[in-house]
Amino acid sequence: MKTNTISTKTNHPKHHNHRRPCTLRPSTVFLWASFVIIFFTALVEIQLLQTRPTSSPSSQPFLPPSWDLLNKLQNLKATFATATCSAADDKLRRAVTFLPLKDLRYTKSAQEGHTWFMSSLHDTHEQGEVAYQQFPSASSNGRLLCIKGRDVHDGAWNSYALAWPETLPYNATLMKGLTFISNNHYNYDNIWHGLSSLVPFVAWHIKNGCSVGPTRWVLFHWGELRARMGLWVKTLMEATFTGPLNIERFDFDGGDEAVCFEKAVVMRHNEGGMSRQRRMEVFDLIRCKAREHCNASSAATAAEGGGGGGIGMTLFMRTGARSFRNESAVVGIFEKECRKVKGCRLTVAHSNNLTVCEQVKLMSLTDILVSPHGAQLTNLFLMDRNSSVMEFYPEGWLKHAGVGQFIYHWMAEWSGMNYQGAWRDPDVNPCPYPGDNRRCMNIYKSGQIGYNETSFSVWARYVLNDAKQRKLDEGKGKSRDRSEYAGGCACS
């Protein structure tokens, strides 16, 4: 699919049909030659000032020899300046050096600090903001980012370079507008990993006053080009930036020639470095835009009887890996506790049966989210601020899953939610492999989750009472930290 934002190519000199003003410094030889021409031109002009041509009866105008010499010198100057400019341009175009997008020297530390993606360039990192690269900018000395990046199997075969706007590589295509370029270490289909990769662009957008949205997105995974993102992530980004996403595939005619971007922003560290306040602003914006896009705000108001006070508890279930072994028993426990609290309404849903907007609407009605660990929990930030999250794990995760098991605890804090703890299945079957062997995680990763009626009941009772008190405080005006959008979303 061709993009309609591609400008005319910068071709080989034999195809040039225009000349641009030369602003480049000539070499020492050219400098001396210029001096000589200018010196003799000055002498001739002085001579002309001293020459007083007399009128002639002849029909042919009288031109002293010095006038003819001046014209020749001026033509020589113009020719020399053009030749100087063309020669310097040619050298600068040919001097553009492309380096691998994926630098194999940093394979063992690809996700740490100086990443392997565009490894020769450093990020701009301001206090509390995401680390990013912007082109052109002072750090790039005004140069544009150019990429040869069609390979989908090995990022080391894709490459990048910087070039001056006036001297792009031969046959390069200049893409107008703002381009968002992302590189991640996982994928854009999983809603957690996809959102983590794209949240930084929303933060940059807010930081810059939401003044301009992206014309296109370029997605890389380990330096390999990707042509799509998951529907859930794509829908939220379309809602946030108010329009369809143009994911660049570089499938226009041009072989392996370079593509240069009029303006580009590159993210390669997910949301690392962002302050909690900035994260909350980002999630507030995405939440608000998603609700507008899905017409969910009015649904929440209607469900609460137009005035609020009710408590929405949602059991967000999974099937297969990390599902409850006895789902009906778990539902029965929470249903029993919900009936004890006036205004509590229980909803049981499976994430794989809902459209994106159905998930957005469901979260807008949810005050307490009860769910196993898994990507579906990424929806938690779509609840109002100060809502509660209860998370469940299968056996073996605490010891073998690593820090990744805490991502929804972090996300709850980043988005202004109350993480009410986690329940871990205590019935652990011993791993047949010694120590912390990685193969143990393969055994536990897809396990199912048991239940404990007493533990679940006590926990549910505490969280319900906490939510009820928060509702009462909000009704009395003691707490107004929940997300409200009566004045419209930010960046509107």
pLDDT in tens, 112-125: 555 789 998 989 98
The per-residue pLDDT for 487 is 57
Out of 45-49, 126-130, 359-363, the most confident range is 359-363
Assess whether pLDDT exceeds 60 at residue 490: yes
Assess whether pLDDT exceeds 60 at residue 42: no
pLDDT digits (tens, 9 = 90+) for 170-187: 999 999 999 999 999 888
Assess whether pLDDT exceeds 60 at residue 327: yes
User: Per DSSP, what are the bridge partners of residue 261?
Assistant: 145, 175
* Tokens 């020749």 belong to residue: 72
In sequence order, the 6+-apart residues with CB closer than 8 A to the CB of 28 are none
Burial class (CB in 10 A: 0-12, 13-18, 19+), 261: buried
CA distance 382 to 357: 11
The per-residue pLDDT for 435 is 64
Residue of higher predicted confidence among 20 and 347: 347
Assess whether pLDDT exceeds 80 at residue 306: no
The per-residue pLDDT for 144 is 98
Assess whether pLDDT exceeds 70 at residue 256: yes
pLDDT digits (tens, 9 = 90+) for 83-108: 557 888 888 888 899 999 998 887 76
pTM score above 0.95: no
Residues 182-194, mean pLDDT to the nearest whole number: 92
Q: Which two tokens stand for residue 121?
A: 């360039």
The per-residue pLDDT for 1 is 43
CA distance 400 to 416: 28
Residues 337-356, mean pLDDT to the nearest whole number: 95
Residue of higher predicted confidence among 236 and 397: 236
pLDDT digits (tens, 9 = 90+) for 50-87: 554 544 444 455 445 555 655 655 665 555 556 557 88
Per-residue pLDDT band for 196 (boundaries 50, 70, 90) equals very high
Assess whether pLDDT exceeds 70 at residue 227: yes
The per-residue pLDDT for 6 is 47
In sequence order, the 6+-apart residues with CB closer than 8 A to the CB of 59 are none
The per-residue pLDDT for 87 is 82
CA distance 284 to 270: 18
Number of other CB atoms surrounding residue 103 within 10 Å: 19
pLDDT digits (tens, 9 = 90+) for 367-391: 999 999 999 999 999 999 999 999 9
Residue 388 CA, chain-centre distance (Å), reads 28
The per-residue pLDDT for 397 is 75
* Tokens 């993102």 belong to residue: 229
In sequence order, the 6+-apart residues with CB closer than 8 A to the CB of 14 are none
If we measure between CA atoms, which residue out of 434, 316, 427, 333 comes closest to residue 373?
316
Helix intervals (H) in 383-428 = 397-400, 407-414
Residues 421-442, mean pLDDT to the nearest whole number: 78
